[in-house]
């Protein structure tokens, strides 16, 4: 790469040096603070050779470069005298959001880590519907009853899972949070409230405070509100307890104060809010009927782009818990996913760009077969614009068909061809045919619509018109012999989540490479292999490494933590150091980073993904330091 040429083009396309207030860089991005973002030619910036993408976030115009960012940054500084100080405000102060937006972001962030457990339980419930239909399982037998308990466990005790996830979101003690959830689900409490409700009586705390009847099993919002309030109760208990009594008095006060708040105020309030939200959604369904499903299918890609799709999970869970199925949002999701895949397939067929044909083809496969739509959505349909219209048309057509024939969903696994069994209805043999036809209609209409509407193809021209850095020569590793695998271990103890769930498109879309992410439970990063530190960033928030096998790994602690300017990060190794597996290379103060308003989710990325045939995640949920999380083939 000609760094000087790239820097010159970037500076020109962001409005010249006169438009730049400050310029900093992190491990992969140039972060401009501009006087006027409206004059920036976004498309020209994206098409600059060496630029992998553009993001506008936290008051910054961020240009994704990749591993060569430091070199481009150096050339930019030769072109102008820019302030190299990052913005001082924490992200929460830079981006003011409305109450509704904040609520949706919170629910989405809390639900995302819980979804694998819910999907596992949901698919067992689907099996319990499918196996008796084909005569494999007796509904009166012990096996059926045991599987029913296994499939229902994650749903019934949903507040416990939510409490654990919410505790990380709000920075509270996980065990306090789980304890409050367990109190709300205690059999004696459920029995007390049920008996009083049946008798027309009111349970009173301290003899005069009424406790409103509400069911918390299968619920989401009540425990979120309870854990949100827990952060303030913890601070209060810590403030009022003498030092010598903190070990026993503080925990007692936390539970003694928070439990009544949850049971008397926030629990019932959350139940009401959940019911209202659900009522609004299904009121639309009741009024418009199957037309509403078509509309949801058509707009669902934009819901995903807004990051609001996980906020629908509580609504779907509530409906399944109440009726045993969901017949609105889940149908729209399926049609949307299939349409994205079909539109990408059409692009793959019609495009003349060999490289982009492969991108579109693989994106179509992942959307259709596995329901993973981000590559198709961000890399193909949204990028080319007109295929997005074709996808929406196909989704609406499929949604109208599925809605008209009263299609139902009995699980919440990612809607895709491989999960079609969750749309099979007991005692309705035609349900499988209806689901299959819904997919077929969606795919055919979206494919034909995209082919007819057409698109402006991405063509291979000179360096200035090339948009993707992935094809540039950066051979970091020789191809692995057939059958050989390299296993990458977790550098951090915590909860492993799919990279797609990271709230930063640079990581979630795989722009920097494939990998996984870990939500840390302790502030320590260990070397996952024998190798070398290529770059320990000066602020300590990120480190690039290369293994002895040639795997280039990026470990990025938190989102936008470069803005902390090294505060709370304590590197133990430096650039150029040789390290052994398990050696501590970085320590950080997890709690202080969270208090400062930053998401500490830590992506672990194979930055030279293109040098290998495949990089796939092998872990989900809790992982210890040096547990396997990735395999490279």
Res 308: pLDDT:
62
Question: Residue 310 pLDDT > 70, yes or no?
Answer: no
Number of domains the chain is built from: 4
Contact 524, 513 (CB under 8 A): no
Q: Are residues 277 and 360 in the same domain?
A: no
Question: What is the set of active-site residues?
Answer: 26, 556
Do the domain assignments include residue 92?
no
Token pair recorded at residue 586: 């970085």
> Poorest-confidence range of 279-283, 350-354, 432-436?
279-283
Kindly state the tokens that stand for 341. 């895949």
Residue 606, phi then psi, degrees to nearest 5: -85, 100
Are 199 and 303 part of one and the same domain?
A: no
User: Does 511 share its domain with 546?
Assistant: yes
Give Cα separations from 82 to 22, 42, 61, 75 (angstroms).
5, 21, 15, 12
pLDDT in tens, 431-475: 999 999 999 999 999 999 999 999 888 755 443 343 333 333 344
162-194 confidence digits (pLDDT tens): 999 889 888 889 999 999 999 999 999 999 988
pLDDT score, position 233: 93
Task: Name residue, tokens 């425990």.
Answer: 223
Average model confidence (pLDDT) for the chain?
A: 84
Q: Bigger pLDDT: 125 or 151?
A: 151
Q: Are residues 373 and 263 in the same domain?
A: no
36-50, 285-299, 398-412, 457-471, range with the lowest pLDDT: 457-471
Domain co-membership, 283 together with 293: no
The pLDDT of residue 475 is 43
Tell me, yes or no, whether 296 and 419 share the same domain.
Answer: yes
Whether residue 568 lies inside any domain: the answer is yes
Q: What is the CATH number of the domain that holds 554?
A: 2.70.70.10
Q: How far apart are CA 467 and CA 439, in angstroms?
A: 33
Tens-place pLDDT, residues 197-249: 888 888 999 988 999 888 888 888 889 999 999 999 999 998 898 888 888 89
Q: For residue 395, tell me if it sits in a domain.
A: yes
Q: Choose the weakest-confidence range: 2-6, 371-375, 460-464.
A: 460-464
Q: Are 552 and 606 in contact (CB under 8 A)?
A: yes
Residue 475 within any structural domain of the chain: no
- Do 428 and 314 lie in one domain? The reply is yes
What whole-number distance in Å separates Cα of residue 445 and Cα of residue 579? 55
> Is the same domain home to 30 and 162?
no
**Chain-centre distance of CA 406, in angstroms?**
30
- Which of 98-102, 136-140, 554-558 tops mean pLDDT? 554-558
Tell the residue number behind the tokens 């209409």, with chain if given: 445
Residue-level pLDDT at 307:
52
Which of 257, 287, 317 marks a domain boundary? 287
Cα dist. 375→20, 160, 289, 378 in Å? 32, 33, 32, 6
Task: Kindly state whether residues 448 and 303 are assigned to the same domain.
Answer: yes
**One domain for residues 268 and 305:** no
Question: Residue 426 sits in which domain range?
Answer: 289-462
The per-residue b/e assignment along 483-507, b for 16 or more CB within 10 angstroms, e otherwise, is eeebebbbbbbbbbbbbbbbebbbb
Within this chain, do residues 310 and 445 fall inside the same structural domain, yes or no? Answer: yes
Angle at 385 between CA 384 and CA 390, to 5 degrees: 105
Indicate whether 430 belongs to any domain: yes
Per the domain annotation, does 112 fall within a domain? no
- Of the candidates 557, 507, 468, the one whose C-alpha atom is nearest the C-alpha of residue 374 is 507
Asked if the structure places residue 583 within a domain, the reply is yes
Burial of 401 (0-12, 13-18, 19+ CB in 10 A): buried
Give tens-digit pLDDT for 70-119. 888 888 888 877 765 544 444 443 444 555 556 666 776 687 678 778 77
Residue 120 above 90 pLDDT?
no
Residue 563 resides in a domain: yes
Domain end point (choices 87, 105, 140):
87
The residue from 399, 429, 462 where one domain ends is: 462
Mean pLDDT of 147-162: 88
User: Which has the closest alpha carbon to 425: 131, 132, 129, 138?
Assistant: 129
Q: What is the CATH number of the domain that holds 25?
A: 3.30.1360.60
Q: Name the residue among 545, 518, 523, 467 with its Cα closest to residue 627.
A: 518
Q: How far is the C-alpha of 194 from the C-alpha of 71, rounded, in Å?
A: 67
Distant-in-sequence, close-in-space partners of 577: CB < 8 Å, separation ≥ 6: 532, 533, 536
Q: Clarify whether residues 355 and 448 are in a common domain.
A: yes
């Amino acid at each position: 790469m000609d760094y000087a040429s790239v820097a010159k083009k970037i500076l020109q396309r962001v409005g010249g040096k006169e438009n730049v207030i400050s310029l900093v860089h992190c491990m992969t991005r140039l972060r401009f603070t501009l006087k006027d973002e409206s004059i920036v030619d976004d498309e020209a910036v994206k098409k600059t050779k060496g630029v992998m993408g553009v993001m506008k976030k936290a008051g910054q115009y961020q240009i994704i470069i990749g591993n060569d960012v430091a070199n481009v940054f150096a050339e930019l500084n030769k072109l102008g005298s820019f302030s190299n100080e990052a913005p001082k405000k924490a992200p929460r102060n830079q981006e003011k959001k409305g109450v509704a937006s904040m609520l949706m972001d919170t629910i989405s962030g809390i639900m995302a880590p819980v979804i694998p457990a819910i999907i596992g339980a949901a698919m067992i419930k689907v099996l319990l519907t499918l196996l008796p239909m084909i005569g494999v399982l007796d509904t009166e037998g012990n096996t059926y009853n045991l599987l029913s308990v296994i499939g229902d466990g994650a749903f019934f005790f949903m507040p416990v899972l939510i409490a654990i996830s919410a505790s990380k979101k709000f920075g509270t003690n996980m065990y306090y949070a789980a304890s409050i959830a367990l109190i709300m689900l205690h059999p004696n409490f459920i029995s007390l409230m049920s008996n009083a409700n049946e008798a027309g009586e009111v349970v009173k705390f301290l003899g005069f405070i009424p406790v409103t009847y509400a069911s918390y099993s299968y619920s989401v919002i009540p425990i979120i509100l309870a854990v949100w309030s827990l952060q303030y109760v913890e601070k209060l208990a810590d403030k009022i307890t003498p030092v010598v009594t903190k070990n026993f008095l503080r925990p007692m006060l936390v539970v003694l104060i928070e439990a009544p708040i949850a049971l008397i105020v926030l629990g019932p309030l959350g139940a009401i809010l959940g019911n209202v939200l659900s009522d609004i959604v299904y009121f639309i369904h009741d009024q418009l009927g199957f037309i509403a499903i078509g509309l949801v299918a058509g707009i669902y890609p934009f819901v995903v782009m807004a990051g609001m799709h996980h906020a629908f999970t509580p609504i779907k869970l509530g409906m399944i818990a109440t009726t045993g199925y969901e017949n609105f949002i889940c149908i729209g999701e399926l049609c949307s996913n299939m349409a994205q895949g079909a539109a990408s397939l059409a692009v793959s067929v019609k495009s003349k760009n060999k490289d982009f044909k492969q991108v579109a083809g693989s994106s179509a496969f992942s959307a259709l077969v596995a329901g993973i739509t981000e590559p198709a959505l961000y890399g193909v349909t949204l990028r080319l614009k007109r295929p997005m219209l074709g996808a929406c048309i196909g989704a609406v057509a499929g949604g109208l068909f599925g809605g008209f024939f009263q299609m139902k969903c009995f699980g919440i696994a990612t809607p895709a061809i491989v999960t079609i069994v969750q749309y099979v209805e007991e005692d309705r043999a035609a349900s499988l045919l209806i689901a299959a036809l819904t997919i077929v209609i969606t795919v055919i209409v979206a494919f034909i619509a995209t082919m007819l509407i057409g698109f402006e193809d991405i063509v291979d021209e000179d360096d200035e018109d090339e948009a993707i850095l992935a094809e540039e020569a950066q051979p970091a590793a020789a191809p692995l012999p057939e059958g050989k695998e390299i296993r990458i271990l977790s550098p951090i103890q915590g909860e492993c989540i799919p990279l797609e769930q990271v709230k930063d498109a640079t990581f979630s879309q795989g722009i920097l490479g494939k990998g996984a992410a870990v939500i840390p439970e302790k502030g320590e990063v260990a070397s996952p292999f024998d190798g070398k530190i290529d770059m320990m960033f000066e602020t300590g928030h990120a480190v690039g490494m290369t293994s002895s096998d040639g795997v280039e790994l990026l470990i990025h602690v938190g989102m936008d933590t470069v803005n902390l300017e090294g505060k709370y990060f304590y590197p133990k190794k430096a650039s150029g150091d040789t390290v052994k597996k398990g050696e501590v290379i970085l320590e950080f103060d997890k709690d202080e980073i969270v208090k400062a308003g930053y998401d500490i989710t830590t992506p672990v990325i194979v930055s030279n993904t293109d040098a290998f045939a495949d990089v796939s995640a092998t872990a989900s949920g809790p992982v210890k330091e040096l547990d396997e999380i990735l395999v490279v083939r």
